[in-house]
Structure 1
Amino acid sequence: MKVGFHRSSASGRRRVFAACVLSVLAFALTACGGVAARDDDRKVVLTTFTVLADMARNVAGEHLRVESITKVGAEIHGYEPTPGDIKKAAKADLILDNGLNLEAWFAQFVADLDVPHVVVSEGITPMDIGEDAYRGKPNPHAWMSPVNAQIYVDNTARAFSDLDPGNAEAYRANAEAYKTQLGAVRDDLVSAVSALPADQRALVTCEGAFSYLARDAGLTEKYIWPVNAEQQATPQQIGSVIDFVRQRGVPAVFCESTVSDAPMQRVVEATSARFGGVLYVDSLSEADGPVPTYLDLIRHDATTIATALAGASR
């Protein structure tokens, strides 16, 4: 906030007054914006994206301060860290990343930081990408399986216990309670998809980010491109999806919230399929949006997919 005075009317008294005003404003701003951070002596955990932050908060409870490096809606694969990100990370006590080549920027990001980091996907069995230049590399979207998410949670609880041994029992208890919720979400997902006719259990998306979710739910997956990248969809990629949709009679197709759905709209125009809705993968929404938590994300995606494939209007 800037406070200004006309130079033509400035006087000694006014300059003193201005200085007092600025001092009071500085104190007020410090009191309003800095006290919480100054008085909050909890250790700070950073995650690379919002989904991991929400998982971590469920494990941390009130004992740690958890923040995401990337903001809501960010495209995580090719993210470019800012100087502010690096400054924030240098002050953190722990950084959690997904691994599996998801965060292409992360190795360089932490190269000069003296901060421990933990790969929360450690221990999952990765599914390989089957197409294009990424063929044979692990699909990084392992958190899209609620079953895998339970492994993420266990890894997070262990990392927090190492960071803050005094609250280790609380982290273990929080993790077990959260894993119970994850199991219920997985059961709901399987139930929703199992109600679909067998020939409609096909999931067509922009990015190949749903392999783990499709496996859990018993869906056949087809996508335009395997991993979000800067280049646009090729005619060959779009044509392959069009052929798949026509041959299978797929009733609805989808795209993710962090990319343009224009390529998928071309599939809709060329087939009898309709656009079934927006799915969330790499980012949560704002608090008042459709997927403010990871559990909401999985529920939203499962409901959107099942409803659209069943032919109901949304």
Structure 2
Amino acid sequence: MQEPTERQGQVPASPWRSAWRRLRRRPIALVGLGLIVFFVLAALLAPVLTAISGHGPTDTDKLAVDRFLGGLPKGSLGGVSSQHWLGVEPGLGHDIFARLLYGAQISLLVAFSAALLITVVGVALGVTAGYFGGKVDMVISRFMDIMMSFPSLIFMIALLSVAKDVNRVLLLIIVMSLFTWPYIARVIRGQTISLKHREYVEAARAGGTSSTRIVLTEILPNLTSTIIVYITLAIPGLIGSEAGLTYLGVGVQPPTPSWGQMIADSELYYKLDPMFFVLPCACLFLVVLGFTLLGDALRDVLDPKGGNG
């Protein structure tokens, strides 16, 4: 006699609840999730934490640096003390702890906003091209090819360099999204072409259901896992792009704190004050690592054909 697969009276677990259970069994995924939560909370609580520490991101403390030694921090480990928990920046004596917190705000704001924008644009165009096909697909696909053929880094640097009197954070979000959306659009287009030939979609179409309703109720729900995985894996690249563009001098401008700017400024002092170089690099590495670990685990868990589940 075959054993029942479900206990009597027990409600079957939803696919998302089952995915969460599988995800919890992966230590690497929990490490990644923990890193993400840590940096998100640090960014959200930046005003509270800096109020406790007593120093804002643009506050200067010239007493904490030695002007006779070229502005190097006084004391060991880059000026770590009870007043400056992670030391101070050489020169003006900005508090590193405060600037790291507000730098996290900038990095996560730019990355999350750009990820949201490329998802909306990419999914909309990808679904449209994949579902309707024909000339619509041809036009959108050729547009994707054109956008993907641009050397994106060069064009991002050029656009950011030309537009100087615009909000830098907003400009970063728009420019980074402009050259990134075709990649998710191409993935979604391929998935949509596969889904539109499924029996339940054909049945809905034969029953007179409108194309809009089919896309919203039959196609998009089945693309959710793909979209979530793509966003999670795209965010690390967006964080790195923001830091890289700022490092090159075309991203966020001083006095706005940014990890990329801190890394660029630390080049002059990395031998004399290595903490100034190590701390923003460590933050950038850990937050990218967190999203990468979580994204890889989500891809294995949510892809029914991949991973061990």
**Which range, TM-score by smaller chain?**
under 0.3
Q: Whose RCO is larger (CA < 8 A, sep 6+)?
A: 2
Higher strand share: 1
TM-score by length of 1: 0.23
TM-score normalized by the length of structure 2 = 0.23
Q: Whose helix proportion is higher, 1 or 2?
A: 2
